[in-house]
Amino acid sequence: MKLSNKTWDELEIGQRASLNRTATLEDFYVFANASGNMNPLHLPKHDGDGDGDPEAIAPAMWVGSLVSSVLGNLLPGPGTVYLGQQLHFHNRVHAGDPLTISVEVVEKRDGGEVLLDTCVEIAGGVKVASGVAEVRAPTKKLVFDDVEAPHLMLERHKHFDALLERAGGGAPMPVAVAAPEKGDALAGPVIAAKAGLIRPILVGDPDAIAAAAKAEGLDISGMEIVPAPHHPEAAEAAVDLVREGRAQALMKGHLHTDDLMHAVLRKENGLRAGRRLSHVFVMDVPGREKLLFVTDAAINIAPDLATKKDIVQNAIDLALALGIEEPKVGLLSAVETVTPSIPSTLDAAILSKMADRGQITGGLVDGPLAMDNAVDLGAAKTKGIAGSVAGRADILVAPNMEAGNMVAKELTFLARAEAGGIVVGAACPIILTSRADDEKARLASCAVAVLMARGTK
């Protein structure tokens, strides 16, 4: 940002300056952290006055602080020292309100002091705040060509909030939960049931399930329990519930993934649907303007070309079900050039051409792409990579499970992303949650499964 000032000698009575700013929810969160003011009236999702509706009213002093941005940036500008501020608040500001903040010089005093009328208005001329600022104006002309503050990233998962809202708009989906016999495995379906997303059918040892519920203080009253003494039998019975139409999705409880997938992939009355199964992490990365999909991070260890084709198509179909129009698929490798000594670049080039020929449908597919130029438009432009996918990828396809798992876990634990994961390519969504998942991640996995099931009907 380029800044310059008006010195005390240059200031004249009647000089004005203004700027425009739209209030956002992020502003209120940042102000709460910076000021320590945790008044629920100012925090989204909280009903701060007990009337039954969240208010998300802008803190009055946040509104007042906008005046300082005009004084410090424009008039008088850099070098201005605040001496005092009188403010009177007339109306309240809410997220989304467009604001105009203006100041006007009304008096010059000895010693470099200046009085300015200050005003904040909502579009349409509705006055929000007004008063008088007393400042010491700069005496030396200053020009700054490049002023920057450290970048702030707000750890907020608004995309998952939107998913949960969409998924909660219908009857709870019946889900067969295989062997939820430990507290962490039982908590997910109980939380999702409480949120109105699913209707769990608990399949496993009734005594173990009851003990887990008691130990964790979980209410499972009213939930159907299908007895199955051992984990393989629980997996088989859960799959049978889907085959019989009593459940529309499958959820892994406290059993090995191999036991569950053995039942899913059985030759007779399994859940095969003509494609290889694959896992997709649906990720809400703070600061990113849309969801990010990472695949395959949990099922296919070293997929060949045919398997990668199914992995790509599975991820596209899921993204479409979640409302992503023409998803952009970035096929990852270490480099963005086709290099015979790096097999993943050859696979990526072939998959891209397969998409061009209609063998993969519903999305735009490009690769090989390195991670930077798959997700960052600036990096793609720097390297001269053109196209609709580079720098804009919605789906990241890893060359193998190790790479996919590392990408997803790095985003989760370093970039503070939330991740919901499901297995796709079967006759129904298969929900896989981790013991490390928090409540939001468990709910998101269920929401993704609900929306996918609706989208495939």
CATH number at residue 306: 3.40.718.10
Cα–chain center distance at 313 = 23
The answer on 163 and 79 residing in a single domain is no
The answer on 446 and 306 residing in a single domain is yes
CB 150 within 8 A of CB 395: no
Q: Is 152 part of a structural domain of the chain?
A: no
Q: Is 153 part of a structural domain of the chain?
A: no
CATH number at residue 127: 3.10.129.10
The answer on 76 and 27 residing in a single domain is yes
The answer on 427 and 333 residing in a single domain is yes
The answer on 407 and 381 residing in a single domain is yes
- Measuring CA to CA, which residue among 91, 65, 69, 66 is closest to residue 80? 69
> For residues 13 and 2, what is the distance between their CA atoms, to the nearest angstrom?
25
Domain that holds residue 174: 158-455
Mean pLDDT across the stretch 156-162?
82
Model pLDDT, residue 52: 67
Q: Is 383 part of a structural domain of the chain?
A: yes
Render pLDDT for 220-265 as a digit per residue (tens, 0 to 9).
998 999 999 999 999 999 999 999 999 999 999 999 988 999 999 9
Report how many domains make up the chain: 2
Look over the chain and give the mean of its residue pLDDT values, rounded to a whole number.
92
Structure tokens given for 93: 């500001």
Are β-strands 198-204 and 278-284 bridged in parallel, bridged antiparallel, or unpaired? Answer: unpaired
The answer on 370 and 347 residing in a single domain is yes
Model pLDDT, residue 165: 87
The answer on 162 and 140 residing in a single domain is no
Model pLDDT, residue 48: 63
The answer on 165 and 66 residing in a single domain is no
Q: Is 150 part of a structural domain of the chain?
A: no
Beta-carbon contacts of 245 under 8 Å, excluding residues fewer than 6 positions away, are none
Model pLDDT, residue 456: 57
The answer on 368 and 251 residing in a single domain is yes
Backbone angles phi, psi at 100, to 5 degrees: -120, 125
Render pLDDT for 176-226 as a digit per residue (tens, 0 to 9).
999 999 988 999 999 999 999 999 999 999 999 999 999 999 999 989 999
The answer on 217 and 87 residing in a single domain is no
Upstream peptide bond of 76 is cis (omega within 30 degrees of 0): yes
The answer on 196 and 140 residing in a single domain is no
Model pLDDT, residue 54: 67
Cα–chain center distance at 427 = 27
106-126 core/surface letters (b: 16 or more CB in 10 A; e: else): eeeeeebbbbbebbbbbeeee
